[in-house]
Amino acid sequence: MKKMEGIVYCLFISAVIQAQTQDCDVNTIMAIKGKWVSAPNNVVYPEKSFPSGQYNQLYTRLDKIAGFFQEACPSPAGIEATWYRSVRGSSLVKNGPVPYQFNSLYQGWYCNKNLHKMMLGSETGTWSFVYVNDFGWFMTDQNDKASLTISGADAWMLPRKTGEWQGVTLYESSASRNNHVILITHKNQLPYKPVSRYLFLQALKQKIETDRKMQLDVNQKTNVRTAAEEEAAKQRALDNIAKTNRPDKVEQRKADYLKNYKSDAQLKEENIQRSLKYFDDRLKPVDAELNNEKKEDLQLPAIIDNNYISNFKCCTTEEKGGRMMLQLNTEYFNLQLPRYMPQMIVLYWSCDKNGAAQQFKKEFEEKFPVKKLQDMIDK
């Protein structure tokens, strides 16, 4: 009787588990209507010259942006949405607009096959940011900063264009994969300006010449042994050959050693000449471009490959994967406006490839009110 009860109990548990497993599927996940939750403000190394008493001006605008997201995706399916305000970083120009940002992350529900229940993921690759008065992930020092300076100032590489979205140019940030980013500006102006081919070539030439001089100085400072020290070392090597070779091979081994022997001074000079040739070979194509390009072509924007330092080729096109070198356009910023007003806005989003994240991406891209974001410029 007890055996029969045990069998019935096992069948009952098996049926429960099977029912739970059937309920724990993609359709169940997508049936969950997520909600929006706000997290505490994130204030880290903010612009020191901007008074914290005016942070309410920043927060009001960030709350407005949060409303745009909730308007587009009021109840994201299978996802819990968290957003928070952030004030961090220094102004791009002295006394210019202060940077601040809206941050949001989207944690997806998933089916835990072992526990047979729905659980909220602790990690996510689905994020969206709105950077105000800052480039954010549109263009970062870590991924996009050029390896040389132009006229003594920093330069960056423009992200690759991938298309158009709601009438705005769409880019892909170098900071991560599977992302989209747009730049919203005022008065059809840009907060950056292209670097001309001429300035790029001149800067690259200067960098190579500087590196050449530094390496030459290092090579020339290489210590060499005295003649007596070298002779003693040579004799020790010959004695070692005599000890470690068969008698009938000793003389031949010694002859081979002496034939290939080079003094420290000879090795030092060879290194110097090798180094000079390396840098001279890098300078030749740069000089050739400067001398052969038409004057009008030298004023065109420099669009170059990522490996322009190690394997110079000038120039290419954006269609072929090239990226425009640019610098900050300080004249873009209106210093007469209150510093809390948005003068440029970057919208970035990146999504996982699971069903809930892709559904959010679809809904976001179809319904997000970009026009309302554009209307915030200079207000």
3-class secondary-structure state, position 119: strand
Whether the CB-CB separation of 364 and 126 falls below 8 Å is answered with no
Whether the CB-CB separation of 98 and 79 falls below 8 Å is answered with no
Tokens of 366: 């179809």
Task: Write out the DSSP string of 174-199.
Answer: TTSSSEEEEEE-STT--SEEEPBHHH
Q: Give per-residue pLDDT as tens, 33-77.
A: 999 999 999 999 999 999 999 999 999 999 999 999 999 999 999
User: Which of 174-178, 296-300, 311-315: highest mean pLDDT?
Assistant: 296-300
Whether the CB-CB separation of 166 and 132 falls below 8 Å is answered with no
Question: Is the predicted pLDDT of residue 14 greater than 50, yes or no?
Answer: no
- Give which of 273, 282, 291 is closest to 206, Cα–Cα: 282
Q: Give per-residue pLDDT as tens, 74-106.
A: 999 999 999 999 999 999 999 999 999 999 999
- Give which of 170, 81, 171, 167 is closest to 128, Cα–Cα: 81
Bridge partner residues of 164 (DSSP): 169
- The band of 1, judged by pLDDT with boundaries at 50, 70 and 90, is very low
What percentage of the chain exceeds 90 in pLDDT? 77
Q: Give per-residue pLDDT as tens, 260-279.
A: 999 999 999 999 999 999 99
User: How far are the Cα atoms of 141, 250, 275, 278, 307 from residue 212, in angstroms, in the given order?
Assistant: 26, 44, 8, 9, 19
Question: How high is the pLDDT of residue 187?
Answer: 81
3-class secondary-structure state, position 5: helix
**pTM of structure:** 0.84
Q: Give per-residue pLDDT as tens, 322-351.
A: 999 999 999 999 999 999 999 999 999 999
- Give which of 143, 161, 183 is closest to 324, Cα–Cα: 161
Question: Is the predicted pLDDT of residue 15 greater than 60, yes or no?
Answer: no
User: How far are the Cα atoms of 97, 184, 368, 376 from residue 342, in angstroms, in the given order?
Assistant: 7, 10, 19, 7
Phi/psi for 47 (5° steps) reads: -55, 115
Alpha helices in the chain (DSSP H): 2-23, 26-31, 55-72, 141-144, 197-220, 227-244, 247-260, 264-292, 295-298, 355-367, 370-374
- The band of 23, judged by pLDDT with boundaries at 50, 70 and 90, is low
Other Cβ atoms closer than 10 A to 109 = 20
Question: Is the predicted pLDDT of residue 295 greater than 70, yes or no?
Answer: yes
Q: How confident is the model over 191-217, as a mean pLDDT?
A: 95
Whether the CB-CB separation of 134 and 101 falls below 8 Å is answered with yes
Whether the CB-CB separation of 33 and 77 falls below 8 Å is answered with yes
- The band of 116, judged by pLDDT with boundaries at 50, 70 and 90, is confident
